[in-house]
Amino acid sequence: MSSKSNTKKGMVYIGTSGWSYPHWAKGVFYPKSVPTQNWLKYYASIFNAVEVNSTFYRLPNPSLLQRWSSITPPDFIFSIKIWRRISHDLRLKNVQTEIQDFYPSVLPLQEKTKVFLLQTPPSFIPDINLLNEFFFAWMEVFKNTLLAVELRNKKCFKEEVFDVMRKHNISLCLEDYKGCGIDDVMTADWLYIRRHGPTGRYQGEYTHQQLKIEAEKIKQYLKLGKDVFIFFNNDFDGYAPKNAKQLMDLVDSK
């Protein structure tokens, strides 16, 4: 005798890596009638999530983040890319002060920030103890948030690295960046996916078949109760929002 599963269905968050691209204007994605200052509001009327890359380069202006929060729907979420001072300059070592500096700068988006993205430099090969120390230091400040890690070097793809991420329920970013893509390792009870384009270099359009396969995988994860975050980074020619919308429709279809 069969019974229905009590597993709560996961949530899917689909969007793009950034939204402020001049080459998305004039009808490519943003209608000509939508002024630049309203791009995020328009974007959030279509998608339920966005990845913020500007926070990687500099500490954000709190008043700007307050505006972002005010013009997006209550259930809209931001994924914040972690400041490069932490990831690239100091390479995760002795970054307690920098984590403390980063925290108040993103506080205005606290209610809508569900996940943070750490991207390591291509030359970074993690020491397990260092990773463990960083994860503890990060979680001590950024409580009740999720953390995803995009490793830009295939030498990082080792079980000992995956195990320390599993220990903290940190998601290895599944991605297709040229030379270091990975798509088949789970380190958390949720998933974070970045799609950099079929060339792996921010260009090109995913085919309907590729997106259909992606959608079917996502549907399976959702059935298992896993939340999925997926962001398209193939911004050239406006393919990112186009593919994100196509994927949304495929995931929503029966």
Query: What is the residue extent of each domain of the chain?
Result: 12-252
Q: How many CA atoms lie within 13 A of 199 on its CB side?
A: 9
Q: What is the pLDDT of residue 180?
A: 82
* Cα separation, 121 vs 177, whole angstroms: 13
* Half-sphere exposure in the Cβ direction for 211 (13 Å, CA): 23
CA 96 – CA 217 distance, rounded (Å): 37
- pLDDT tens digit string along 108-141? 999 999 999 999 999 999 899 999 999 999 999 9
Residue indicated by tokens 């279509």: 46
Contact, 78 vs 109, CB < 8 A?
A: yes
Predicted local confidence at residue 254, as pLDDT: 72
Residues 6+ apart with CB under 8 A from 248: 14, 47
pLDDT at 177: 86
pLDDT of residue 2: 37
User: How many whole angstroms separate alpha carbon 149 and alpha carbon 117?
Assistant: 6
- Give tens-digit pLDDT for 209-240: 999 999 999 999 999 999 999 999 999 999 99
pLDDT at 6 (0 to 100): 64
Walk along the chain (254 residues) and give the pLDDT tens digit of each residue: 333 456 789 999 999 999 999 999 999 999 999 999 999 999 999 999 999 999 999 999 999 999 999 999 999 999 999 999 999 999 999 999 999 999 999 999 999 999 999 999 999 998 999 999 999 999 999 999 999 999 989 999 999 999 999 999 999 999 998 878 888 899 999 999 999 998 878 889 999 999 999 999 999 999 999 999 999 999 999 999 999 999 999 999 87
Q: What is the pLDDT of residue 178?
A: 81
**Of 112, 103, 115, 165, which is closest to residue 136 (Cα–Cα)?**
165
Whether CATH 3.30.70.3400 fits 12-252:
no
Q: 3-class DSSP state for residue 251?
A: helix
What pTM was computed for the model? 0.94
Residue 177: other Cβ atoms inside 10 A: 21
